[in-house]
Amino acid sequence: MNRSRRLIALETGIEIRWHGRGGQGAVTSAELLALAAISEGQYAQAFPSFGPERRGAPVLSFVRISRNAPLRIRAEITEPDVVVVLDPGLLPIANVTAGLKPDGIVVTNTKKGPDDIRREFGIKHTLATVDATRIAREILGVPITNTTMIGALLNATGVVKIESLEEPLMHRFGQLGARNFQAMKRAYEETVVKERA
């Protein structure tokens, strides 16, 4: 399937659920993506799932984007179009595909390729993989993959243009913004997408 068919940000909108651990930046990723969508003239919202999370505990954040209509709902996303997994350690312990639409996409940080992940975890959806931890270590010097995984998401969906993230990253991270943007672009280039089984 070509990129234009993988572009799933339809007029009705796209809903993305981020899976991470406390301190990994899942909430920041959602906010940055929403800001990029708004800068393109789309409607967007981002919000976390609040609870008793502590650093390292599994957390969720959500993004809704609509091209043509204001967003009226602000409930947690239970039937996402896309799931982004920042920490590969969540794959065996969390049901990251719960509620994922049949034509949905799983975007995950892993050293393994899509075929290996599909076999190991039984994921039947379109699967995008990238070793975001390695990229983050090489470019940022730390294994924090939130901005890196935005690049993988953009490769898999095309929901916003990669250039639209530059200003939000610079604003959020100051001098480190350029390195975060570089990590995001590298992940975009290295992401491997395998259509659903």
pTM score, two decimals? 0.90
Q: Work out how many domains the chain is built from and give that number.
A: 1
Classify residue 63 as exposed, middle or buried by CB count within 10 Å of its CB (0-12, 13-18, 19+). Answer: buried
| Domain containing residue 13: CATH number | 3.40.920.10
**Partners of 173 in the beta sheet?**
none
Tokens of 15: 């809903």
Q: What is the CA radius of gyration of the chain?
A: 15
- Per-position pLDDT tens, the chain of length 197: 444 334 444 446 899 999 998 878 899 999 999 999 999 999 999 998 865 556 667 889 999 999 888 888 878 899 999 999 999 999 999 899 999 999 999 999 999 999 999 999 999 999 999 999 999 999 999 999 999 999 999 999 999 999 999 999 999 999 999 999 999 999 999 999 999 86
Range of the domain at 37: 3-194
Within 8 A by CB and 6+ apart from 150, the residues are 29, 32, 33, 165, 184, 187
